[in-house]
Chains A and B, each alone.
Chain A
Amino acid sequence: MATEKKVTAIKNTPKHLLGIQNLSVLEAKEILTEAKSFIKLNRGSSKKLDVLRGKTQINLFFEPSTRTQSSFDLAGKRLGADVMTINMNNSSLKKGETLIDTAMTLNAMHPDIIVIRHQDSGAPNLLSQKVNCTVINAGDGRREHPTQALLDALTIINRKGNIEGLKIAICGDILHSRVARSNIYLMNMLGAEVNVIAPKTLMPNGIDNLGVKSFTDMKKGLDGCDIVMMLRLQNERMQGSFLPSKREYYEFFGLTPEKLKFAKKDALLMHPGPMNRGVEIDTKLADDINVSLVKEQVELGVAVRMACLKLYCK
């Protein structure tokens, strides 16, 4: 990291973490520095702190999630908060309650933090206008997934020492991906060069204005890259036909050991999970501990979320 001395950028800014777009470089670096300090703790035998003792954290998940939800759950508990998780798939929402009503109901219980995952872009922003507590975005529609990008950054820093000057490729379903968007903002902010690679039908309009180079050819897009981030084909968000077949997609955009050779020799592979093995990634490659950072991403995810909870909960 550029600075090891305590920076306190977050103190004077709004208390919500809604997206990387709203973060300054200092704030992002502060979160990463804080997160670093939790890595060791999480690997030790005594993992419990009392930073958030007496605080209440509600995880409000409108979309099914395994890793993000359990990661936030653990992060809160390790900091000593009382954590409650509500899965809205089978709750009041089905009875016609609006997001605002749900928010007001929960707000009346005086939580200190609400972690929200929602299928609609902008839902955390709306929520943050209506409640008195901290709101942390755990993924909204196809807009942002800030803690994922932060944990990706921490994983890269952990391996490569720094992000500045690296070349990072993000490949796959960019159109439907909030992970791609948050990573584009964050990696750019931290000084990396970002390539996005996708078939044209999965490339969002105006992406070049976000500060990336876009490619439809893996060979060109991966050239000289230090990090290759693969994205999941988000079949559940696809309405209508975007691709001829999974077979054809794998042929041109699936990451195989051969295609990985287009990148730098010591290139590392990342994936936010869950993976579609044999669709966007070769199954052996995904498990190859010499190149794949997938497990480390999950591990550091807890540390990053602990840092976010600690810094944003006032």
Chain B
Amino acid sequence: MKEKILTNVRIIDPSQKMDEIGNIVIDEKGKIKSIGKKSGTSKSAEKIDLKGLVAIPGLVDMKAFVGEPGFEYKENFRTLSQAALAGGVTSIVTMPNTKPVIDNVSMVDFIIRRGRDKAKVNLFPCASITRQREGNQMTEFGLLKARGIIGFSDVNKTIQNSELMSRIMNYASDIDVLIMQHAEDYELAKNSCINQGEVATRLGLQGVSDIAEKIIIERDLSLLSEFPCRYHINQISSKNSLIVIKKNKSNGIKFSTGVSINNLSLNQNDIGEFRTFFKLSPPLRSEEDRLSLIEGIKNDLIDVIVSDHIPEDEESKRLPFAQAATGSIGIETLLSLSLELYHNGSLSLDKIIKCLTINPAKILKIKKGTLQEGSDADICIFDLEKPWVVKAEELKSKSKNTAIENRKLQGKVKMTLLEGEVAYSN
């Protein structure tokens, strides 16, 4: 590869507190050679002028589902990576709720090989916390980690058994693995499909109270004070959960928290008359909850914004609401929808980018999410002001279940570099 130089670009990299117009020099190995306003030039380098655009570290999405193996008709490594790159995402943590479940070493070898052959992005696979995600028996954390598993998650299932959870934390603490919990009490959430309250009552649907989320967070953080391990709450959805998180953080308990861009941008009223693309887990809640989540990011109570990319085919969404599948796609629109929070004055650009780059990288302990000299030149270049309208059929995912069809957004990815190579441009 030839040396490259990106010129006249506004560089925002929270990992080095940088927000300035300058150049980025990428060496022959695809690493950042120098960056910033003082960055030099070289005559032999290939020059790309990016005047008027913004360069940030490639996004790290901590929660996305790839359909392989078992659900190739919903998404595969190729389509997921195309969607990711079009959205400026260069590192993806993939979920293990495939068929079969990624809960043993041979499955890990399969997906790593398959991902390497078919995907163009950096993939960081998760394995399940318990075998078959059944919540009974922990998986081989040590062996799985040695084969390249980045973290452990039962995805949309929760460890209900408190004794097992304490042992998972106790065991995990010794071998330094990341445990990612989906916080939901099964009994309280039974048969529910949306938030409890007036909307659920009007629609005649079984609602779930935010206590179902809070009660698991409270339990886990109590256990965590006894068995400190690398613990991450996948996605929170309510104001009440933030109160618990705040209290525990001020008591010195160490853990991290994520939120889905959906819960930051939408609320339960968007469900309208049974629009199943808005059936999500955790569910969309009240506007008050949404605003409190934004405050949570401002106050560093929430560390990460994820896409919670869940591709679902039309058939599994074209059902009565209670029967319809849960989730929406979002990896391609993650950045643009997050930028809406900047344009409407909710959050600073620096904060948003932090939650999409260096924060998840730190939690995962990977050398991504930064443009410091020497790091991989995974770069997302976007036009901060460009207006566009989301059209499901134009998205690259194999499934088209976006919750933000026809939404008018401002800010669009122009180019994505992966280890110095242009992997996407439009």
Contacts and interface: CB of A to CB of B under 8 A. Distances in A.
Contacts of A143: 202-205
A120 B196 contact: no
A3 interface: no
Nearest to B197: A206
Contacts of A120: 320-323
B269 to A, nearest CB: 13
Interface in B319-378: 319-323
Given A98-B315, A120-B321, A121-B320, A205 B200 contact: yes
A121 B191 contact: no
A205 B203 contact: no
A98 B204 contact: no
A126 B274 contact: yes
Contact of B318 (A21, A98, A178, A240): A98
Contact of A178 (B190, B204, B319): B204
Contacts of A84: none
A228 B203 CA distance: 25
Interface in B172-229: 190-191, 196-205, 207, 209
B274 A125 contact: yes
Interface string B74-113: 0000000000000000000000000000000000000000
A111 interface: no
Nearest to A181: B204
A210 B202 contact: yes
Contact of A21 (B197, B202, B315, B323): B202
Given A206-B197, A210-B198, A126 B204 contact: no
A99 B276 CA distance: 15
B273 A206 contact: no
A205 B321 contact: no
A204 B201 contact: yes
Contacts of B318: 98, 100, 126
A120 B324 CA distance: 11
A294 B260 CA distance: 51
A44 B202 CA distance: 40
A80 interface: no
Interface residues of A, number: 26
Contacts of B199: 206
Interface string A127-158: 00000000000001111100000000000000
A209 interface: yes
A122 interface: yes
A98 B319 contact: yes
A166 interface: no
A118 B273 CA distance: 16
B204 A205 contact: no
B201 A207 contact: yes
A239 interface: yes
Interface in A75-124: 98-100, 118, 120-123
Contacts of A122: 203-205, 273-274, 320-322
A204 B207 CA distance: 10
Contacts of B196: 205-206
Contacts of B322: 120-122, 141
B8 to A, nearest CB: 50
Contacts of B201: 181, 204-207, 210
A206 B319 CA distance: 26
A286 B128 CA distance: 57
B213 to A, nearest CB: 16
Contacts of B202: 21, 143, 181, 210
Given A120-B321, A123-B320, A239-B191, 15 more contacts: A21-B202, A98-B315, A99-B320, A120-B322, A121-B205, A122-B322, A126-B274, A142-B204, A144-B204, A178-B204, A205-B200, A205-B201, A207-B201, A210-B201, A240-B190
17 contacts: A120-B320, A120-B323, A121-B321, A122-B203, A122-B321, A126-B274, A126-B318, A126-B319, A126-B320, A140-B204, A141-B322, A143-B205, A181-B201, A205-B207, A205-B209, A209-B198, A240-B190
Interface of B: 190-191, 196-205, 207, 209, 273-274, 315, 318-323
